[in-house]
Amino acid sequence: MTVPLSTWLQTQHSDMRQMLGNIAGACKVISNAVARAALSGAQGDAGSGNIQGEEQKKLDIISNDIMLNWAGACGHFSAMASEELDTIVQCNPQGRYLLVFDPLDGSSNVDVNISVGSIFSILRAPEQTPTEADFLQTGRQQIAAGYALYGSSTMLVITTGTGVHGFTLDREIGEFVLTHPELTIPNDTREFAINASNSRFWEAPVARYIDECVAGKSGPRGENFNMRWVASMVAEVHRILIRGGVFLYPKDSAKPNGKLRLLYEANPMAMIVEQAGGASSTGQQLTLDVQPSQLHQRVPVMLGSKNEVARLIRYHE
């Protein structure tokens, strides 16, 4: 029997039901905006940049507004922070939670019709009016995290700290339904994802790991590996959840602090991966143990099948 998201949410407390329900609603609207981008004129650059100096796409701004409006309407968030905004947005002063999100991860893929997604993280709010400092919580303090994948089908993947569950949007009824309960990542894999065009900048531990994988059966690993790269973190992590693998966006000489944002991307994905039996590390420490110092802080990311991440950690040590 197919279980609708609304039914599954009955297992959560009332605040969580409403927060996740509104976030799911936002993801439905964003999914439709992405699907109709070529028809509505929403493809291409917006002519503006975010605080990281990255060119914004029209859909970045559209998706950001949709998430702010839908999430804000539930009344449980006292403030929100978005990858696309310089500072936090104050919401309901009585709210008990904070929302952190990347409204459209991989938006550069929209114009070529490759999978993109949204990422979110829920934290507890202070009793007083939140400041930026209140968002600087470690990944261990997240109470829920998830992402939406806008691909051949639209999926919503959620963890509230007790496993990972995947829901697929049934467009005929307009509802997410549970299709992938209790997602788990195998401990071993023969698949890795990395942007190989950056190889000239890699540090020795990462170069060693990739060289050993590429060497195949004749190399020290004695196994053939496959390489994948989609340039959308949501798509990369989803593939790992479905069939295993390891995803790397490490620090290098060109990006000494890494590229991915700790609060908006690395922490929520690390929570999901750990809840599914995988692991996530910066190379120096587990991602969820990193103490944030800035709202838009970047970190190196290596996540996926536990034994491969453990190997990468050993190489860094």
Helix 306-316, helix 204-215: angle, nearest 10: 130
175 has binding-site annotation: no
262 has binding-site annotation: no
60 has binding-site annotation: no
Structure-token pair, residue 132? 């930026």
Residue 268 makes CB contacts below 8 A (sequence gap 6+) with: 100, 119, 120, 121, 139, 142, 145, 146, 147
**φ and ψ of 48, to 5 deg:** -140, 170
195 has binding-site annotation: yes
83 has binding-site annotation: yes
Q: Residue 145's Cα: distance from chain center in Å?
A: 8
223 has binding-site annotation: no
106 has binding-site annotation: yes
265 has binding-site annotation: yes
104 has binding-site annotation: yes
Residue 258: C-alpha distances to residues 198, 250, 264 (Å)? 12, 6, 14
257 has binding-site annotation: no
Q: Are 189 and 221 in contact (CB under 8 A)?
A: no
DSSP 9: G
Give CA–CA dist 117/168, Å, rounded: 13
Annotated binding-site positions for Mg(2+): 83, 102, 104-105, 265
List the binding residues for substrate: 105-108, 195, 259
Residues of each annotated binding site:
83, 102, 104-108, 195, 259, 265
